[in-house]
Amino acid sequence: MQLQSIKPQDLVMANLYPTEEAVLQDALRYLFQYRPNLRLNFAVYLYQHDEELTLAKAASLAGVSFEQMKEILEQRGVPLRLGPASLEEAQAEIEMMERWFDEENIN
């Protein structure tokens, strides 16, 4: 059997992993560990396409500091999302935090 013909299910059947998902997670973890540029490029891609991904989370995923990630994104022309984009968004965030603190004080 050639290496390229091994499938995740083969490793599960050999009782080396509990699930195919576990095989893929392990493979991705090693891929990102040994190819840091790939990891960084993926973090940049996610930051551009996932509005929920914060700059701090992108930096963590890329394995760089917050400031380094900020510089990398700026160098690549990726707009930074730092804080609310409008006064309305800021007010909505304040209201949400006030409700959250009120709920926390009740419990």
Q: Where are the domains of the chain?
A: 3-82
Q: How far apart are CA 78 and CA 83, in angstroms?
A: 16
pLDDT at residue number 98: 83
Rounded to whole angstroms, the Cα distance separating 87 from 55 reads 21
Phi, psi of 54 (to 5 degrees): -80, 165
Give pTM, 2 decimals: 0.67
pLDDT band at 47 (very low <50, low <70, confident <90, very high): very high
Nearest to 44 by CA among 85, 12, 76: 76
